[in-house]
Amino acid sequence: MYFIVVKFQVKPDSVDQFPDIVAEFTAATRAEPGNLWFEWSRSLEDPAEYVLVEAFTDDGAGPHVSSAHFAEGLESMRPHLVSTPKIISRQVDGDGWDAMGELQIG
Protein backbone atom coordinates (compact mmCIF):
# COMPACT_ATOMS: atom_id res chain seq x y z
CA MET A 1 0.00 0.00 0.00
CA TYR A 2 1.00 3.62 -0.36
CA PHE A 3 1.08 5.46 2.98
CA ILE A 4 1.15 9.26 2.78
CA VAL A 5 1.30 12.03 5.37
CA VAL A 6 0.98 15.65 4.27
CA LYS A 7 1.28 18.80 6.42
CA PHE A 8 -0.59 21.91 5.27
CA GLN A 9 0.18 25.34 6.73
CA VAL A 10 -3.08 27.27 6.39
CA LYS A 11 -3.51 31.06 6.29
CA PRO A 12 -4.95 32.50 9.52
CA ASP A 13 -8.14 33.73 7.86
CA SER A 14 -8.82 30.25 6.38
CA VAL A 15 -7.98 28.02 9.34
CA ASP A 16 -11.47 27.53 10.71
CA GLN A 17 -13.04 27.05 7.25
CA PHE A 18 -10.37 24.66 5.98
CA PRO A 19 -12.39 21.47 6.66
CA ASP A 20 -15.21 22.93 4.53
CA ILE A 21 -12.74 24.01 1.84
CA VAL A 22 -11.43 20.43 1.46
CA ALA A 23 -14.76 18.64 2.03
CA GLU A 24 -15.56 17.97 -1.63
CA PHE A 25 -12.00 16.77 -2.36
CA THR A 26 -12.12 14.57 0.75
CA ALA A 27 -15.45 12.98 -0.19
CA ALA A 28 -14.35 12.31 -3.77
CA THR A 29 -11.08 10.75 -2.63
CA ARG A 30 -12.75 8.55 -0.03
CA ALA A 31 -15.08 7.26 -2.77
CA GLU A 32 -12.17 6.04 -4.90
CA PRO A 33 -11.98 2.23 -5.11
CA GLY A 34 -8.25 2.25 -4.21
CA ASN A 35 -8.55 4.53 -1.18
CA LEU A 36 -8.00 2.84 2.18
CA TRP A 37 -8.34 5.97 4.31
CA PHE A 38 -8.14 9.74 4.02
CA GLU A 39 -8.12 11.41 7.44
CA TRP A 40 -7.59 15.05 8.41
CA SER A 41 -6.33 16.22 11.81
CA ARG A 42 -5.42 19.59 13.23
CA SER A 43 -2.10 20.00 15.02
CA LEU A 44 -2.22 20.48 18.78
CA GLU A 45 0.98 22.54 18.70
CA ASP A 46 0.11 24.74 15.72
CA PRO A 47 -3.62 25.32 15.10
CA ALA A 48 -2.83 26.64 11.61
CA GLU A 49 -1.42 23.27 10.58
CA TYR A 50 -3.60 20.49 9.23
CA VAL A 51 -2.21 16.98 8.79
CA LEU A 52 -3.60 14.55 6.24
CA VAL A 53 -2.96 10.82 6.72
CA GLU A 54 -3.96 8.80 3.70
CA ALA A 55 -3.42 5.37 2.21
CA PHE A 56 -4.11 3.71 -1.11
CA THR A 57 -3.84 0.21 -2.48
CA ASP A 58 -0.79 -0.36 -4.67
CA ASP A 59 -3.02 0.06 -7.73
CA GLY A 60 -5.01 2.96 -6.27
CA ALA A 61 -2.37 5.66 -5.90
CA GLY A 62 -1.87 6.27 -9.62
CA PRO A 63 -5.53 6.81 -10.46
CA HIS A 64 -5.84 9.12 -7.44
CA VAL A 65 -3.16 11.58 -8.56
CA SER A 66 -4.39 11.51 -12.16
CA SER A 67 -8.04 12.13 -11.26
CA ALA A 68 -9.80 15.39 -12.05
CA HIS A 69 -10.84 15.87 -8.43
CA PHE A 70 -7.19 15.60 -7.32
CA ALA A 71 -6.14 18.55 -9.50
CA GLU A 72 -9.28 20.50 -8.61
CA GLY A 73 -8.81 19.78 -4.90
CA LEU A 74 -5.23 21.03 -4.89
CA GLU A 75 -6.22 24.19 -6.74
CA SER A 76 -9.05 24.84 -4.30
CA MET A 77 -6.54 24.69 -1.43
CA ARG A 78 -3.88 26.87 -3.07
CA PRO A 79 -5.24 30.33 -2.09
CA HIS A 80 -5.64 29.19 1.52
CA LEU A 81 -2.09 27.94 2.09
CA VAL A 82 0.92 29.81 3.47
CA SER A 83 3.53 27.52 1.90
CA THR A 84 4.07 24.39 -0.14
CA PRO A 85 2.78 21.37 1.81
CA LYS A 86 5.34 18.92 3.24
CA ILE A 87 4.87 15.26 2.35
CA ILE A 88 6.11 11.80 3.19
CA SER A 89 4.95 9.18 0.68
CA ARG A 90 6.14 5.59 0.89
CA GLN A 91 5.11 2.22 -0.41
CA VAL A 92 4.89 -0.11 2.59
CA ASP A 93 3.91 -3.71 3.24
CA GLY A 94 0.42 -4.28 4.53
CA ASP A 95 -3.12 -3.26 3.73
CA GLY A 96 -4.24 -1.43 6.85
CA TRP A 97 -3.55 -0.48 10.44
CA ASP A 98 -1.89 -3.00 12.76
CA ALA A 99 -2.28 -3.21 16.55
CA MET A 100 0.50 -1.44 18.45
CA GLY A 101 2.71 -4.13 20.00
CA GLU A 102 4.18 -1.87 22.69
CA LEU A 103 0.80 -0.80 24.14
CA GLN A 104 -1.73 -3.58 24.33
CA ILE A 105 -5.13 -2.85 25.92
CA GLY A 106 -7.35 -5.61 27.31
Residue boundaries of the structural domains of the chain: 2-91
41: phi then psi, degrees, rounded to nearest 5: -140, 160
Q: From the DSSP assignment, how many helices (H) and strands (E) are in the chain?
A: 4, 4
Q: Which of 61, 71, 58, 62 is nearest to 25 (CA)?
A: 71
CATH topology (fold) of 2-91: Alpha-Beta Plaits (3.30.70)
The model's pTM is 0.94
Mean pLDDT, consecutive 10-residue stretches, the chain (106 aa), reads 98 98 98 97 98 97 94 97 98 95 95
